Structure 1
Amino acid sequence: MDSFLRPLAAASMIVAGALASTAPASAQQAPIKIGIPTSVQLQVGRDTQNAAKLAIEEINAKGGLLGRKLEMVVADETENPEQGIAAIKKLTADDKVNVLIGGYTSGVTLAQLPHISNAKTIYIGVGAASPAITAKVKTDYENYKYIFRAFPINAAHQARALVDFINGKLKGEMGLKKIAIVGENAKWVQDLVPILKKGATDGGTDVTLAEFFDTSTSDFSPLFAKVKNSGAQYLIVVLSHASSDIFVKQWHDAQVPIPIGGIDVKSQDADFFTRVSGKANAETVGMFAIRAPLTPKTIPFWDEFVKRFGTAPVYTGIGAYDAVYVYADAVKRANSIEPDAVIKELEKTDHVGIAGKLVFDEVHDVKTGPGLQNLLFVQWQKDGARVVVWPKEAATGPMIAPPWMSN
């Protein structure tokens, strides 16, 4: 190189270096990864992904988080503990996600807990309801401080809401004093039913039958016969993994002379009424949100979700959307993605979400109560309309009897 060109070349290198050093930090930093372990083959899993995607896109459109974009990584945990553990290991060890948001089956989530703890990765549950999931936060905080539940309210809280429905609506308003309780044989139901039975009995309602059935049951006629013979005036159902479609179709086709209601997770699906050819008419379903002004965010979120994905969200979608924002808010306050710093901020969460205000208790479980997240009882009615029938202050219409009992 000629001697008079050397200074120019050196100057060019200095300018290039200066430009590189002043490049935006967001262009140099890796994205913050949101790991989504869920049952991807189910509606709860699809809605978890879609709602998380919606929240992530909204945050990224506003500049991301700490100057970094958010990125979603999904792993299928199915409904099997071994697959659930594999999903956590993939997300934490292989994908190196910064937070985990998801879950559905309590048994799977419980199996995953030690692996989440070992990975020292924050986990915000949005699907599984067993109180045992967050119990270890109290007994072994240092190892299980990473565990939070943003949605739904736990099974014990759900049981108390059901007790209020039984004693307030069924007994108090309708004069029904005898109920039967049937639930699938799953961990969250085992946690719920004893509380439910005691609460109903203490409130003056006679529980004529309380029975579990296998999640693979395909013929419910013997169970319906037991319920009828027990003298029950109303059947409380508690199921999530068993076939709601078969259960409701058989109840309708046999014209069982007893109304049904309770917690039926798959009956929360927006297409459930159509899926069972209208045979869900008069079934009452516990739901955590519906298109109603529960908070200023409920209807805008609901309408955008339907517009984007063609269906109303089930509860895991509501929880996933809120959980992404709750995590993002904590990261902003901490000005860090370091788990211990974020955990301290998550513990201070006071977030207006889709179903109510989201606040964590001392074991990182979402609180319930006035202004917080609660269980609504919504009845399927003619042409697939969904009508809130309890609590009284939230009701949008009267409760109806099954068509064959209406005369």
Structure 2
Amino acid sequence: MIHPNRRAMLTGMILATAGMTLGLGACGSGDTIKVGLITALSAQSARSGEAITRGLTIAIDEINASGGLLGKKLELIRRDDESNPAKGVIAARELIHKEGVVLLFGGLDTPVARAIVPVATEAGVPFIIPWAAGTAITHNGTNPNYVFRVSAVDEQVDKAMVTFATANYAAKRPGLILLNNPWGQSNEKGLKTALGAAGLPVAGSEKFEASDVDLGPQLGRLRAADADVLMLVATVGPSAQVVKALDQMGWDVPVVSHWGPAGGRFGELAGRSASRVKFVQTYSFFGPSTPVRDKVMKALQAKYPDIKGPGDVTPAVGVANAYDAMQLGALAIKAANLLDGKAVRDGFAKIGRYDGLIKSYDRPFADGHHDALTDADYIWAEFDGDRIKPIPSRPVA
């Protein structure tokens, strides 16, 4: 005989499980297919979260105007993770189990994305990354792997940073200045490996906290070690602090950066010296005209009054990565021909050719690949005021 308290507990568990199942299926039983977005929508990285939102929205509008998917329209549901892994996990559980999203987009910040990976994997919901570059996000050891990315990848960016520094600044003794978090630690390893492969010594490797306001000691040690180029890995605010500290020191050293500065108000925070930082990107609307580029640009201008031209799409990578990621996600759903998470996951591997905004993709997720972009898709950029503009591949130092 089952004790009354145990019976009540078992009943509650059954009802909770049923509730989760209903939540996962709600997207297929209603009038819309729900897709979720978890990103930073406030504070210094809010501009990036808004760019990702716009890219997804333009793609969703386009898909819905063409009849939607499986006879249903797409609906975007957003949650603000405030760049906090714990809040990202809470948001992921809500979107998956309460809202019943079929696709989950997110991960502006690598620590947040890595925290969400096991949640999405356990639920069997494809998790698509349009920004976070941490290598371990897609190379996560899970089988089956439910994570797909349309963005840069740290280990490839690290190689690109070394190539750019040597080609453009004849770097001989690069110094590393890195945010002290998992993202910075991952890139420290990647940069040291890339520098070793190039036969270059590391002048020094310094870390700092996001809350640090005095970076004189770290930068002073790099200067004393004769670093001739700084390799920066940090988010918006901390990157601006590095630039301000260099100005205060009067140290006119080139700065080659991961794309952290592009994530928000760097031009405003760093001031007139923001342009000294050269950073990697995956796309610029200043690039050559293509049918997809012109179509997306026209849609952005029609929907968002603040966009008058290419320079107003900032950061462009958020828009471009998200637009292509949504289109590829839609192709995965079409390939699956149903809304089951495993079937949609398998649908990514069935995607053939797609002429996207960033490039023409050819079986981007086939043969076990979970990253759609490579280092061949990277460009380099700098700030011009608050705008991000591409720079020539070999600028004058």
Q: TM-score normalized by structure 2?
A: 0.81
Are the structure 2 counterparts of residues 382 and 341 from structure 1 closer, same or farther at C-alpha, using a change threshold of 3 Å? closer
Q: How far is the alpha carbon of 1:282 from its aligned partner?
A: 2.6
For residues 183-226 of structure 1, give each alpha carbon's deviation from its aligned partner in whole angstroms, at most 9, with x where no partner exists.
Answer: 11121222222221232233233321112211221112222212
Change (3 A) 1:66 1:241: same
Q: Please name the residue that 2:156 is paired with.
A: 157
For the pair 1:368 / 2:374, whether they are aligned, the reply is yes
Q: 1:223 to 1:295 in 2, by over 3 A?
A: farther
Deviation, 1:177, is 1.5
- Corresponding residue SS for 2:392: strand
Partner of 1:282: 276
Distance 1:104 1:385 in 2: 18
Whether 1:399 aligns to 2:393 is no
For 2:209 and 2:360, the matched residues in 1 are separated by 36
Name the structure 1 match of 2:267.
Answer: 273
Change (3 A) 1:306 1:262: farther
Per the TM alignment, residue 61 of structure 1 is displaced from its structure 2 partner at its CA by 1.6
Separation in structure 1 between the aligned mates of residue 120 and residue 276 of structure 2, nearest angstrom: 42
Q: Is 1:183–1:239's contact at 8 Å kept on the other side of the alignment? A: yes
Over residues 133-187 of structure 1, what are the superposed CA-to-partner deviations in whole Å (9 max), with x where a residue is unaligned? 2223xx4323xx322112x22111111211221333332xxxx322211111121
Is the 2:236–2:263 contact (alpha carbons within 8 Å) kept by the matching residues of 1? no
- What letter corresponds to residue 396 of structure 2 in structure 1? M
Residue 86 (structure 1) aligned to one of 82, 86, 90: 90
Instruction: Give the residue type in structure 2 aligned to 1:354.
Output: L
Residue aligning to 1:125 = 129
Superposition deviation, residue 325 in structure 1: 0.7
Please identify the structure whose Cα radius of gyration is greater: 1
CA distance in 2, matches of 1:185, 1:238: 9
In 2, Cα distance between equivalents of 1:159 and 1:303? 34
Measured in 2, the distance between the counterparts of 1:95 and 1:382 equals 40
In the other structure, the counterpart of 1:335 is 337
Contact 1:177/1:204 (CA < 8 Å) preserved in 2?
no
2:119 is the counterpart of 1:115:
yes
Aligned pairs for 1:36-185 within 5 A? 36-41=37-42, 42-136=46-140, 139-142=141-144, 145-150=145-150, 152-171=151-170, 176-185=171-180
Aligned mates of 2:223, 2:302 — CA distance in 1: 43
C-alpha spacing 1:117/1:280, structure 2 compared with 1 (3 Å): same
Matches of 2:371 and 2:379, distance apart in 1: 19
Cα distance, 1:95 vs structure 2:
0.9
Change (3 A) 1:347 1:301: same
With over 3 angstroms needed to count, the CA separation of the structure-2 counterparts of 1:49 and 1:381, relative to structure 1, is closer
Asked if 2 retains the 8 angstrom alpha-carbon contact of 1:228 and 1:258, the reply is: no
Q: 1:348 to 1:255 in 2, by over 3 A?
A: farther
Q: Residues 227-306 of structure 1: matches in 2 within 5 Å?
A: 227-240=222-235, 242-267=237-262, 269=264, 272-291=266-285, 292-293=287-288, 296-298=291-293, 300-302=295-297, 304-305=299-300
* CA distance in structure 1 between the aligned counterparts of 2:269 and 2:290, rounded to whole angstroms: 30
Deviating more after overlay: 247-256 vs 153-162 = 247-256
How far apart, CA to CA, are the structure 2 residues paired with 1:345 and 1:273? 40
Give the match for residue 203 of structure 1: 198
SS state of the match for residue 278, structure 1?
Answer: helix
- In the alignment, structure 1 residue 223 sits paired with structure 2 residue 218: yes
SS of equivalent residue, structure 1 residue 182:
strand
CA root-mean-square deviation: 2.5
CA deviation profile, 1:116-146 (whole Å, cap 9, x unmatched): 122221111112212212223xx4323xx32
Offset at residue 341 of structure 1 (A): 2.4
CA 1:282 to 1:110, structure 2 compared with 1: closer, same or farther past 3 Å? closer
Distance 1:357 1:190, change over 3 A: farther
State the match for 1:16 in structure 2: none
Tell me which amino acid in the other structure corresponds to 1:344: D
Q: In structure 2, do the counterparts of structure 1 residues 86 and 219 end up closer, same or farther at CA, with 3 Å as the change threshold?
A: same
CA positional deviation for 1:300: 4.4
Q: Distance in 2 between matches of 1:57 and 1:222?
A: 50
Q: Which runs of 5+ in 1 are unaligned?
A: 1-27, 393-397, 401-407
Identify which range, 323-332 or 241-250, moves more after superposition: 241-250
Note closer, same or farther for the CA distance 1:337–1:381 as it changes in structure 2 (3 Å cut): same
Contact 2:138/2:148 (<8 A) preserved: yes
* 8 Å CA contact 2:232, 2:239 repeated in 1: no
TM-score (norm 1): 0.79
Could you report, residue by residue, the CA deviation over 1:245-271 in whole angstroms, capped at 9, with x for unpaired residues? 3322332343313121211423454x6
For residue 372 of structure 2, what is the amino acid of its counterpart? V
Assess, with a 3 A threshold, how the Cα gap between structure 1 residues 325 and 399 changes in structure 2: closer, same or farther.
Answer: same
* C-alpha contact 2:229 2:255 (8 A) present in aligned 1: yes
Give the Å deviation of 1:91: 0.3
Deviation readout 1:66-116 (Å, 9 max, x if unpaired): 221111111122222211110011101111111101211222222222211
Residue aligning to 1:403: none
Aligned residue identity for 1:217: D
Structure-2 residue corresponding to 1:35: 36
Question: 1:307 Cα shift?
Answer: 5.7
Which of 369, 377, 380 aligns to 1:377? It is 380
